[in-house]
Amino acid sequence: MGDNNTSQKRPLRSARWFRKDDLPGFVHRSTLAAAGWSREDLMTRPIVGILNTWSDINPCNLNLRALAEEVRTGILEAGGIPFEVPMMSISENIIKPTSFPFRNLLAMEVEETLRGYPFDAVVLLGGCDKTQPALLMGAASARIPFVFLASGPATPRSATGGQLANATGVWRLVDQLRAGQSQCDFASFENSVMGTVGHCAEMGTASSMSAICEALGVALPGSSLVPATDRRRSHCAREAGRCSVRLANEGGPRPEEILDARAFDNAITLLCAVGGSTNVIIHLLALAGRVGVPLTLDRFDEIARRVPLIANVQPAGEHLTERLMTAGGVPALLKTLKPLLHLDARTVDGRTIGEIIETAEVVDPEVIRPLDRPVKPGETLVVVKGNLAPDGAVMKACAADPKLFRHRGRAVVFEDVQTIANRIDDPALCIDENSVLILRNAGPVGAAMPEWGMLPLPRKLLERGVRDMLRISDARMSGTAYGAAVLHVSPEAAVGGPLALVRDGDIIELDVPARRLELCVEPEELERRRQDWQPPPRTHVRGYRKLYDQHVEQAHLGCDFDFLRGADKETLPEGLFDGWVGGW
Ligand code: FES
């Protein structure tokens, strides 16, 4: 092992545990002697955590156990002492009632684990949708230097008939089946759709989060899109391990020294360029709140107006993320976006974004398009406001039918997802292709914000060939999905937002170019309805879900807990209890 302290710029945090000849130092060292580490090791080498969201029940993260071994090797090679710690694994499609509320729970677990243990730096291993933002949020609040590594995209297989089986394909298949048109064997599709370990392989939420981690500067360049089953991902893991020891020895950069306003601008720019998931908007707002960056929905809209869709990947484009990687990956995307970026933004790699992209090349200009030849014209994401969404709502414009960008239609209101299931295919439902489907009580408080925002179209309209309609809700939408869905309406219906006041037959007007979303009902009538409105009963009386209901913020703020927002909330300084042993 090399000399680990030659480049040290800040004192090691772990020295408070291990480098004192007092009773706590004795207890801490003797405890870890049982794990194989000597007094000499603990008194001279940096301590690096590997926070791992691996689980058998989460196939998106299933390769993280093996990757953790590679990270461990990298840490040892660089002279650090690795300690792997299992974290909660949030399996998107399995966990009930929905994965979303558990993001904040995992973020709290990460923060407190990092605060409580003697880590000088940490490698964060995530994959499936909520594990990634939760790890970032917790580590940002703990202010421990970190490098993030994703599990990597899965490699989708072909179902019977040759149709590519991936998550975006599922949504198309469901519509085709409901319209009676698909020839695809549903069971074959089911067997193929999660064909390998790894997260969803289109630019859904997981791939979007991974990619923007490079733009944020918290993941190593080129690491995000390497497939989960590709041997090169092991190399990324070893390099992440080595990088974490460098961060430990140099005392940073710390999260708050990387995650500044420039980093968030760069991340939003990349998110727009790849037509990424609307869920990332919520996660970036929450992360910014953790580090005290005053990010708002308006900033997303400002940046989206100048960034074209240049990545030809699903769901907005044609290909999977593996093609994007072989076309040059995120470094090549960032190079193409160079005039729109803050090139002096710092990264965990030690270089600035500008320095990283110097050597990047676009290998396939059909997959990574030049700025003047985008995949589609217009903005990829838009933020709309109006009397139906005073604090804003979002729409993935690049995945919607542009014919609906200026639209007036009559509302068909669903109180909850069960009502949709009961009514949507009722032949007697009064609805046509110009109607506006409204789902409410699906926001952060109402239903923990599930991905119900892409409401199913009525079978009778699907059979007539209708494939998109305007849908409005306070829910989220899967990053793999598509359609004219106005999402994250804030404030939500369950806390008395105007969405709660819409009635069947009301005229709704969406004007995307003007960024307006209006409920065309007289103010006096809306006030009368408000007087009659009753909040839905809160159903959680104990435990985490009660805490969640009481403290979750609205979508335009990122749905974090109100007591976790802000960079300077911790009142007990680190080191207060260093002279004590907490137990034996
Ligand atoms: Fe886990 Fe898509 S289901 S990333």
Q: How confident is the model at residue 184 (pLDDT cuts 50, 70, 90)?
A: low
Q: Whose CA is nearest to atom 3 of ligand 1?
A: 92
Q: Would you state the pLDDT for residue 530?
A: 97
Residue of 89, 90, 92, 95 to mutate, ligand 1, most atoms within 8 A of C-beta: 92
Q: Whose CA is nearest to atom 1 of ligand 1?
A: 128
Task: Compare 461 and 537 and report the one with higher pLDDT.
Answer: 461
The H-assigned helical ranges of 183-252 are 186-192, 205-216, 231-250
Question: Is 2's pLDDT higher than 50?
Answer: no
Burial class (CB in 10 A: 0-12, 13-18, 19+), 342: middle
CA 516 – ligand 1 centroid, Å: 32
Q: Would you state the pLDDT for residue 569?
A: 56
CA 14 – ligand 1 centroid, Å: 35
Is the residue at 490 inside a domain?
yes
Taken in order 21, 24, 29, 34, the sign of the CA dihedral is positive
CA 202 – ligand 1 centroid, Å: 10
Q: Would you state the pLDDT for residue 580?
A: 76
Percent of the chain at pLDDT exceeding 90: 84
Residue of 55, 129, 193, 194 to mutate, ligand 1, most atoms within 8 A of C-beta: 129
> pLDDT for 342-360, tens place per residue?
999 999 999 999 999 999 9
The H-assigned helical ranges of 9-99 are 15-18, 23-33, 39-44, 64-77
Residue of 102, 131, 132, 199 to mutate, ligand 1, most atoms within 8 A of C-beta: 199
Among candidate residues 128, 74, 70, 72, the one with its CA nearest the CA of residue 102: 128
25: containing domain: 12-39
Residue ranges around ligand 1 (CB below 6 Å): 60, 92-93, 128-129, 199-200, 204, 206
Closest atom of ligand 1 to CA, residue 207: 4
Whether 332 contacts 363, CB under 8 Å:
yes
The residue to which tokens 């990619």 are assigned:
211
Is the residue at 99 inside a domain?
no
Count of structural domains, the chain: 2
Where is 299: in which H helix or E strand? helix 297-304
Closest atom of ligand 1 to CA, residue 58: 1
Is the residue at 385 inside a domain?
yes
The amino acid sitting at 284 is L
Strand 389-396, strand 381-386: pairing: antiparallel
Among candidate residues 532, 553, 575, the one where a domain is terminated: 532
CA 195 – ligand 1 centroid, Å: 12
Residue of 90, 98, 100, 128 to mutate, ligand 1, most atoms within 8 A of C-beta: 128
Is the residue at 105 inside a domain?
no
> pLDDT for 518-536, tens place per residue?
999 999 999 999 999 999 9
* Least reliable range by pLDDT among 146-150, 194-198, 324-328: 194-198
Whether 276 contacts 233, CB under 8 Å:
no
What letter does residue 340 receive in the DSSP assignment?
Answer: G
Question: Is 584's pLDDT higher than 80?
Answer: no
Q: How confident is the model at residue 270 (pLDDT cuts 50, 70, 90)?
A: very high
Q: For residue 149, which phi and psi values (nearest 5 degrees)?
A: -135, 125
Q: What is the overall mean pLDDT for the chain?
A: 93
Is the residue at 388 inside a domain?
yes
Q: Would you state the pLDDT for residue 100?
A: 97
Mean pLDDT of 299-322: 95
Whether 221 contacts 214, CB under 8 Å:
yes
Closest atom of ligand 1 to CA, residue 206: 4
- CATH code of residue 461: 3.50.30.80
- How many Cα atoms are found within 13 Å in the side-chain-facing hemisphere of 389? 30
In whole angstroms, give the CA distance from residue 412 to residue 410. Answer: 7
Whether 87 contacts 98, CB under 8 Å:
no
**Residue 94: both structure tokens together:** 């399995």
pTM for the model: 0.95
Among candidate residues 161, 141, 144, the one with its CA nearest the CA of residue 292: 141
